[in-house]
């Protein structure tokens, strides 16, 4: 991550410096390249803090619900239901560990297009995975696999993209459901293969005394609590390593598969019910399991503020670097250079900025997509309109995800995570071009 961060900053600075050297001040041109770069840096830093503060409420809400689910044993129950699949994807994680359930909830939330609502589930999954981490500050194979799947995750309902297409006057705003599903399935398979293949070339290594001394409250609090707290439902399930009958597990996975066509058919009707339904179901589950739901919710919500504080420096670093890349004009130069090669392959110059910006900036990518589909010469139902909508719905803001999730557990050495995640992003774009060319070109 050090090399990536430094490279982005140096490319942006060099581009702005070159433009400044050839800049001739005039009233028509306005601010010079270096002034634009400076203002872009300040705006990005401010935006990073505003984003982190904006996440506090979402983090508090869903981490509170996660605490209720955890105390009721929901995470372990979910992990045991999907055990046959998860133990193959994450062989280093005990089959009944709460990390399994948290990861499944995160993947499910992403699949339903819940956006920021999926982030607290992912952060809890990272905290649980870090409890199994033999080298604090370094990503484990399970963390790398989880984030690779997270950035590529199968998307059943890209609700926000559908809403933007509807606002742009699309005759079929939900027409991207099959294209998005195809692209995300292919990219998820690529992410899993990439994470498995390259992990051998990035060994974890031995932990140093400094790393072992790192303050990790999400780990130390649990360790301290296990000696004094009464064993609750989660502890009892963890001690019981027996799996559910095979038919129960396969029935659960069949239900997940059946959710795919159900979401395509009834997705727009289901979408408004998802978040309220999650809150009601989590609280009722906790109450039925004997959890004091109000106290547990408040206890979990407290973590939202601490997590937001931990991720702020990471967000500032990555968003300032991305802001510099955009403000300097370096991104435009890269687009112009690549468009010559990508246009004959089905990725025209109009859509290329979308493919390049999506892993860097979620808000920037939404802005580009909105501008393209509102352009009267293109429109939402053209080939380019379907393509940019599919790319938006089938790829993730990779650098943001890595900054937030790794920042939440103070991971600095990310090993092969970025390589696997970017592989998934590239494959998602290729798959989006292929399916849109087949259906709409």
pLDDT digits (tens, 9 = 90+) for 250-297: 787 787 677 667 766 776 677 677 778 878 988 999 999 888 999 999
Q: What are the extents of the domains in the chain?
A: 2-6+31-440
Tell me what pLDDT residue 177 has.
82
- Given a contact cutoff of 8 angstroms between Cβ atoms, the answer to whether 62 and 121 are in contact is yes
Neighbours of 353 (CB within 10 A): 22
Tell me what pLDDT residue 126 has.
94
Neighbours of 290 (CB within 10 A): 11
Task: Note the pTM of the prediction, 2 decimals.
Answer: 0.75
Question: Which parts of the chain have pLDDT scores under 50?
Answer: 224-232, 234, 236-239
Tell me what pLDDT residue 121 has.
84
Torsion sign (Cα): 252, 254, 260, 263 = negative
**3-class secondary-structure state, position 82:** coil
**3-class secondary-structure state, position 342:** helix
pLDDT digits (tens, 9 = 90+) for 194-208: 999 999 999 998 888
Tell me what pLDDT residue 237 has.
47
User: CA geometry: angle at 278 spanning 119 and 115, to 5°?
Assistant: 30
- Given a contact cutoff of 8 angstroms between Cβ atoms, the answer to whether 152 and 181 are in contact is no
Tell me what pLDDT residue 366 has.
78
């Amino acid at each position: 991550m050090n090399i990536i961060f430094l490279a982005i900053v140096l490319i942006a600075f060099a581009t702005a410096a070159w433009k400044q050297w050839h800049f001739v001040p005039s009233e028509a041109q306005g601010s010079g390249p270096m002034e634009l770069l400076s203002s872009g840096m300040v705006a990005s830093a401010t935006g990073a803090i505003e984003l982190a503060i904006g996440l506090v409420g979402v983090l508090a809400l869903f981490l509170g619900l996660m605490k209720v689910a955890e105390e009721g044993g929901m995470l372990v129950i979910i992990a045991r239901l999907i055990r046959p699949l998860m133990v193959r994807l994450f062989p280093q994680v005990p089959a009944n560990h709460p990390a399994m359930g948290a990861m499944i909830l995160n993947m499910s939330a992403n699949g339903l297009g819940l956006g920021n609502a999926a982030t607290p589930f992912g952060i809890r999954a990272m905290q649980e995975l870090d409890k199994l981490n033999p080298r604090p500050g370094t990503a484990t194979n399970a963390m790398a696999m989880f984030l690779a799947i997270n950035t590529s995750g199968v998307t059943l309902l890209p609700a926000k993209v559908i809403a933007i297409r509807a606002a742009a006057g699309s005759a079929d705003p939900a027409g991207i459901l099959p294209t998005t599903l195809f692209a995300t399935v292919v990219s998820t398979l690529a992410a899993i293969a990439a994470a498995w293949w390259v992990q051998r070339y990035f060994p974890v290594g031995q932990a140093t005394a400094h790393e072992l001394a790192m303050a990790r409250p999400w780990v130390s609090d649990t360790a301290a609590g296990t000696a004094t707290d009464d064993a609750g439902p989660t502890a009892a399930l963890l001690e019981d390593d027996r799996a559910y009958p095979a038919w129960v597990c396969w029935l659960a996975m069949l239900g997940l598969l059946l959710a795919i066509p159900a979401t395509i058919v009834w997705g727009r009707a289901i979408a408004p019910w998802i978040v309220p339904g999650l809150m009601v179901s989590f609280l009722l589950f906790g109450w039925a399991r004997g959890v004091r739901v109000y106290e547990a919710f408040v206890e979990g919500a407290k973590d939202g503020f601490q997590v937001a504080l931990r991720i702020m420096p990471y967000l500032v670093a990555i968003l300032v670097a991305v802001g510099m890349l955009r403000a300097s004009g370096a991104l435009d130069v890269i687009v112009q250079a690549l468009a010559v090669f990508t246009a004959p392959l089905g990725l025209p110059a109009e859509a290329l900025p979308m493919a390049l910006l999506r892993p860097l900036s979620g808000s920037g990518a939404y802005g580009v997509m909105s501008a393209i589909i509102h352009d009267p010469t293109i429109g939402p139902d053209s080939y380019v309109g379907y393509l940019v909508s599919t790319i938006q719905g089938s790829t993730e803001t990779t650098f943001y995800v890595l900054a937030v999730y790794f920042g939440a557990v103070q991971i600095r050495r990310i090993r092969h995570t970025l390589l696997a995640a970017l592989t998934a992003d590239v494959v998602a774009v290729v798959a989006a071009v292929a399916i849109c060319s087949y259906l709409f070109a």
